[in-house]
Every structure is written in structure tokens, then in C-alpha cells.
């Protein structure tokens, strides 16, 4: 008689197990990257030169005898709630306008930089909770661990939305003394109309901190740009020559999924009165190839081949990525 009950209990337990099995994004190898809860996470080895300006907005102090984990969020308010460093130089309000925008082949994002500090002998550290809040007001206080809200606000990003997720980091991949280790990229749409941005994070549930602070920062992005034009190729040479005119208001886009169509999430722009377009703040490096295409092509034949995937170096401007079109002038 008790057997059905037991079976029911076992089923219920199985379901609970399914729900709490954690997803770990492993960033312990150089260049590793992945997506969790809509955010993009990339292992990042800071270079001593060319890193740009780095501004800390949240420093979480080292693990102490009282705390096995390291928790905190940025605010200008004092006192602080967790293990945040109280210096206003390291823990402060962050306005959304100070969070750099970066365009990837798959869309527009805002970028945050995480620098972790561990012993070289025990380099692994888990990032177990990460939430981002956006508010009109600076100086918010009162994170509620029971509801996951800050000052009553729901997060615009939650690492643990849809499951108990975490990111595993490896301090030893970051050579030198620069700030580095991980880039966190949040879809631009999450920031919405802007305001003050609060980043809450918790480290060390599965791989504990052992050697000091963890620090969130913004950096001046090392990005690239692509520019060109859509033009009437009067002599069908495949090159925009002096005197050849541009097509205004044409839609040029980055074909992130390379299907030849402008899809809803893809980044696009319009040509100006002289047919010129530009994409700026593009992420650089071997991981990001851009397929530039024109969606509303002028009539007639295209005299230029569609450009191959474009990969950019930091600070590079790839210009003269032009699209020529020709049609016979109407008879008069
Ligand atoms: Ca580091
Ligand atoms: Ca988690
Ligand atoms: Ca020409
Ligand atoms: Ca597409």
C-alpha cells in the first residue's frame, strides 16, 4: 500500500534534482566563451599595453573568517551591505553612459570587465550569482537575497534565470598585472532607456576565493570600424570613382547568421545623402567576423562582389567596403 506513495516521492525528488542541477560555463581555458541567461561571457587575457582606460566601480574584498563567499554590489551609498571595499574610488555609482557599447556580429551589447585575484596554486574561482539592475536613482541600498531584488527592483539580467548557473574562472590565464580575466556582455536592450546600473555578484560557492579582491570595471573598448558606400557604378568598374554618386537611405546590415537576409536582431544602418555608411564600436579579434550586406539593393546589376567576412584588429578602420550598382539610364 505504501509503494505508490514511495514512487510518487521518488518522482518528486527526481524533478527537484533536474531543477537544481547547475549549469557551469567553463572559462578556464584561454579564449573560452559562452552564453548564459542571455549574457555573453568571454575569457579575457588583458594585455599590458593597449588595454585602454580601466575604471573600477565595484571591488569585493577578500574572503574573511566570517565569510566563505565574496558578495557585493556597486553603489555610492554607505554603509555597504556585503564585502564591498568602501573607498569611493573602487565602489561607486555607475551611469549607463559610462558602460561602453560594443557591436558584435550578433547584435549590440554593453561591456563589463571582471578582474579576479587568486593564488596561482589554486587559481579557480566560481562566479555563482550575477544580477544587473537599472534605476533612475543613484545610491540604491537594500539587496534582498530572498527575492533577488535591489531596493524592490527586479533585475534586467539574472545569471540564474532558468536554473542555477555559474561561471568558472581561472586566474592563471591572465598573465601580467593588468586587470582582466573576463568580459561580460549584456544585450543593449536590457539597459533600455538608461539610468544608473547596479551590478550584484557573488563568488566562491563551489570554488572559493583565496587571495584578495574581485573587481568589476569598465574599460575604454578597443574596437574597430567598417565603412563604405552604396554607389552608382557608372563605368561598371567595380570601384567608386571620382564623380560617381551614392544611393541615399539604403539599408546596410551585418548579417550575423549569414543567411542573406536582415533578421530582427541584426545590426543595421542607413546610407547618408552621399551613399556612405559606417559601423563603429565593433568587437575585434578572430572570434568576430562581419558579413556586411545591403538589404534593399538598387535596381540593376551589382558590379562589386559581396565582401568576404571581415575581421578587425584593435583600432582598425576598414573603409571602402563599397557596393556598386549599375543600370542603363532611361532613354530620353
Ligand atoms: Ca586578474
Ligand atoms: Ca548560481
Ligand atoms: Ca566605377
Ligand atoms: Ca541574417
Instruction: For 302-329, write each residue's pLDDT tens digit.
Output: 999 999 999 999 999 999 999 999 998 7
C-alpha of residue 328 to centroid of ligand 2, in Å? 62
Mean pLDDT confidence for 274-292: 95
Number of domains in the chain: 2
Please indicate, yes or no, whether residues 211 and 229 belong to a single structural domain of this protein. no
Please indicate, yes or no, whether residues 239 and 131 belong to a single structural domain of this protein. no
C-alpha of residue 274 to centroid of ligand 3, in Å? 15
Predicted TM-score (pTM) of the model is: 0.85
C-alpha of residue 159 to centroid of ligand 2, in Å? 7
Which pLDDT score is estimated for 310?
98
CB-based contact 197:191 (threshold 8 Å): yes
Peptide bond into 201 cis (omega under 30): no
- Residue 7 forms part of a structural domain: no
Mean pLDDT is lowest, of 7-11, 76-80, 202-206, 313-317, for 7-11
- Residue 240 forms part of a structural domain: yes
Neighbours of ion ligand 2 (CB under 5 A): 128, 160, 164, 166
Do the strands 107-115 and 101-104 form a parallel or antiparallel pair, or are they unpaired?
antiparallel
Handedness of CA 63, 66, 69, 74 (dihedral sign): negative
Which pLDDT score is estimated for 63?
80
Which pLDDT score is estimated for 96?
96
Please indicate, yes or no, whether residues 83 and 135 belong to a single structural domain of this protein. yes
Handedness of CA 109, 36, 308, 222 (dihedral sign): positive
C-alpha of residue 259 to centroid of ligand 4, in Å? 5
What is the rounded distance in angstroms from the CA atom of residue 90 to the CA atom of residue 59?
A: 6
Residue 163, domain extent: 22-219
Domain boundary among 203, 219, 235: 219
C-alpha of residue 65 to centroid of ligand 1, in Å? 23
Please indicate, yes or no, whether residues 103 and 207 belong to a single structural domain of this protein. yes
C-alpha of residue 205 to centroid of ligand 4, in Å? 40
pLDDT bracket for residue 332 (50, 70, 90) = low
C-alpha of residue 171 to centroid of ligand 1, in Å? 6
What is the rounded distance in angstroms from the CA atom of residue 329 to the CA atom of residue 234?
A: 9
Please indicate, yes or no, whether residues 171 and 235 belong to a single structural domain of this protein. no
- The pLDDT tens digits of the residues spanning 41-84 come to 999 877 654 456 789 999 999 888 778 899 999 999 999 999 99
| Segment of 15-19, 177-181, 212-216, 290-294 carrying the highest mean pLDDT | 290-294
C-alpha of residue 33 to centroid of ligand 2, in Å? 18
Amino acid at each position: 500500500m505504501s509503494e505508490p506513495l514511495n514512487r510518487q516521492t521518488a518522482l518528486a525528488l527526481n524533478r527537484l534534482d533536474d531543477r537544481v542541477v547547475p549549469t557551469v560555463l567553463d572559462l578556464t581555458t584561454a579564449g573560452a566563451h559562452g552564453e548564459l541567461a542571455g549574457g555573453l561571457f568571454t575569457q579575457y587575457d588583458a594585455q599590458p599595453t593597449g588595454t585602454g582606460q580601466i575604471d573600477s566601480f565595484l571591488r569585493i574584498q577578500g574572503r574573511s573568517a566570517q565569510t566563505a563567499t565574496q558578495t557585493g554590489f556597486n553603489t555610492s551609498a554607505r554603509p555597504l551591505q556585503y564585502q564591498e571595499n568602501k573607498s569611493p574610488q573602487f565602489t561607486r555609482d555607475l551611469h549607463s553612459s559610462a558602460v561602453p557599447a560594443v557591436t558584435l556580429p550578433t547584435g549590440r551589447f554593453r561591456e563589463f570587465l571582471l578582474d579576479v585575484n587568486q593564488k596561482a596554486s589554486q587559481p579557480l574561482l566560481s562566479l555563482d550569482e550575477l544580477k544587473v539592475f537599472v534605476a533612475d536613482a543613484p545610491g540604491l541600498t537594500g539587496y534582498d537575497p530572498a527575492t533577488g531584488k535591489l531596493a524592490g527592483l527586479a533585475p534586467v539580467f539574472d545569471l540564474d534565470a532558468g536554473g542555477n548557473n555559474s561561471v568558472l574562472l581561472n586566474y592563471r590565464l591572465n598573465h601580467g598585472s593588468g586587470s582582466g580575466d573576463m568580459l561580460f556582455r549584456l544585450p543593449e536592450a536590457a539597459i533600455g532607456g538608461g539610468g544608473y546600473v547596479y551590478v550584484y555578484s557573488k563568488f566562491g560557492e563551489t570554488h572559493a576565493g583565496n587571495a584578495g579582491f574581485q573587481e568589476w570595471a569598465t574599460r575604454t573598448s578597443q574596437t574597430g570600424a567598417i565603412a563604405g558606400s552604396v554607389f552608382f557604378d557608372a563605368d561598371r568598374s567595380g570601384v567608386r570613382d571620382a564623380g560617381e554618386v551614392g544611393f541615399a537611405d539604403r539599408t546596410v546590415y551585418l548579417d550575423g547568421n549569414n543567411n542573406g537576409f536582415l533578421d530582427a536582431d541584426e545590426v543595421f544602418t542607413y546610407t547618408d545623402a552621399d551613399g556612405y555608411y559606417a559601423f563603429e564600436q565593433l568587437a575585434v579579434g578572430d572570434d568576430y567576423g562581419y558579413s556586411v550586406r545591403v538589404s534593399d539593393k538598387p535596381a540593376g546589376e551589382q558590379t562589386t562582389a559581396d565582401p568576404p567576412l571581415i575581421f578587425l584588429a584593435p583600432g582598425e578602420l576598414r573603409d571602402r567596403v563599397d557596393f556598386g550598382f549599375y543600370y542603363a539610364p532611361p532613354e530620353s
